[in-house]
Amino acid sequence: MRLPDVVVVGGGVIGCAVASELISRGVTVRLLERAALCSGASGANGSLIWPQAMKRSLSLELTLANFRLFPTLGEELGVDLAYRRSGGMVAIATDEQWDEMRRYVDGQQAVGLPAELLDVTEARRREPALNPAIRGAVFAPYGGSVNPFRLTLGYARAARAGGAELLPGTEILGLVRRGDRIVGVRTPAGEQHAGLVVLAAGSWSTSVAATADVRIPVVPRQGMMVVTEPAPFRLRHVLKPIKSDRDPWAFSQPWPAESPGTPGYDPNLPPGKGMGISQTEAGNLLVGSTSRFVGLDRMPTPDGIRYIVEHTASVVPAVRTLRVLRTWAGLRPYVPDGLPLLGPAPGVDGLVLATGHDGSGVNLAPVSAKIVADVVTGAKSDVAPQLSIASFDPRRFEGA
């Protein structure tokens, strides 16, 4: 098969990972980014890798396939990714939650994943910063964190070293469509034609696709984050409170099946449930985040920040005593059925989508890049042989 020359739209973790993977397979790549590389959600997230949050599902399969790629990735990219497989803990507040979490642990073990239920004494022995008032914790050993800037820029560097052209500061004004085919992109400097366009524009993917009358169901889901001053202690794990009293299984992202374009999060969930706490190498705590559908608004609010601090302080009380250095809000590219869009766009040729990773794009970048490169090159890599590419095919929403 003759490999197409590819234009990638978007220089977040997904666009850069796709560019790097395509280059490694001999494809000619040009990546166009409106602002700076890593200036979207990829530079605004919680840095968590949390593969053990879900029941047996496609999302879990995808996350686990990906999890196998991380330990060697830094070496492959020639970058210290600050990848820490620290394990994660979910703090349990009540007896009711304890019973639910016992079922969660049994469920994890039934699908071959290790997990432990710890009483408060054991939980605090392992993680002294935990609140003594909690009932206990679940320990999930596959949790961890990575530096998302180093991951994104590491992919960018590898792509550039392989011969990709990376052009930050280049806005795509629209896709160029001839009949049923996308033949390139329109920039302020004119049209750039390509054999194939890969759309990795995160929360902006829907509006870019719409310029060529291609309808895709990506909706921005805003989340705020808080960074504290360096803490005078080191966390040994990444930490989370339980997300919902009604469905504690959903302590990471809920995955509701809703119609495209309709944000499907449980309206009864408080806006900030689903928190996470991680620590940077320098000791700062990275805490967040909230969940709101407010279009492309990237402004944090005092209420949201307060909510984050109060909620995470119920897990690590010291959060309340640390000074806040910085806050921001970022936009997760949310898709109603909870699975990313990886593959041919609906209704046109010449356009491949690599978007819709919602709150897991850092986590899922390595495996997503391989799936997209498989689609572009027509080859099947062995990274996730058990995963069917068809499950992520954006055409599943066609006509919806």
Site residues for ligand FAD per CB under 6 A? 9-15, 32-35, 39-42, 44-48, 171-172, 200-204, 208, 223, 225, 276, 288-289, 330-333, 355, 357-363
Q: Supply the DSSP symbol for 54.
A: S
Angle in degrees, CA 74, 79, 84, rounded to 5: 50
Nearest residue to 22 via CA among 167, 166, 146, 135: 166
Strands (E) in the chain, as ranges, are 6-9, 29-33, 48-49, 88-92, 116-119, 136-140, 144-145, 165-168, 174-178, 181-187, 190-193, 196-199, 219-230, 238-241, 276-279, 284-288, 324-334, 341-344, 351-355
Q: Is the separation of the CB atoms in 175 and 197 below 8 Å?
A: yes
C-beta of 46 vs 394, nearer to ligand FAD: 46
Task: Encode 285-299: b = buried (16+ Cβ within 10 Å), e = exposed.
Answer: bbbbbbbbeeeeebe
Nearest residue to 22 via CA among 191, 194, 202, 193: 194
Residue 36: CB minimum distance to ligand FAD, A: 8
C-beta of 202 vs 346, nearer to ligand FAD: 202
Residue 34: CB minimum distance to ligand FAD, A: 3
Residues ≥6 apart with Cβ < 8 Å to 74: 80, 81, 83, 154
The amino acid at residue 337 is: D
C-beta of 12 vs 87, nearer to ligand FAD: 12
Angle between helices 361-377 and 58-67 (to 10 degrees): 90
C-beta of 98 vs 278, nearer to ligand FAD: 278
Nearest residue to 90 via CA among 191, 220, 245, 237: 237
C-beta of 14 vs 197, nearer to ligand FAD: 14
Q: Is the separation of the CB atoms in 61 and 104 below 8 Å?
A: no
Backbone torsions φ then ψ of 181, nearest 5 degrees: -125, 135
Number of residues assigned to the chain = 400
C-beta of 9 vs 212, nearer to ligand FAD: 9
C-beta of 136 vs 304, nearer to ligand FAD: 304
Dist. CA 26–CA 7, nearest whole Å: 14
Residue 12: CB minimum distance to ligand FAD, A: 2
Residue 225: CB minimum distance to ligand FAD, A: 5
- Tell me the two tokens of residue 82: 């600050």
C-beta of 35 vs 299, nearer to ligand FAD: 35
C-beta of 98 vs 290, nearer to ligand FAD: 290
Backbone torsions φ then ψ of 113, nearest 5 degrees: -105, 135
Residue 59: CB minimum distance to ligand FAD, A: 12
Residue 362: CB minimum distance to ligand FAD, A: 3
- Tell me the two tokens of residue 167: 């052009």
Residue 95: CB minimum distance to ligand FAD, A: 29
Residue 157: CB minimum distance to ligand FAD, A: 16
Residue 2: CB minimum distance to ligand FAD, A: 27
C-beta of 70 vs 104, nearer to ligand FAD: 70
Dist. CA 282–CA 324, nearest whole Å: 15
Residue 267: CB minimum distance to ligand FAD, A: 20
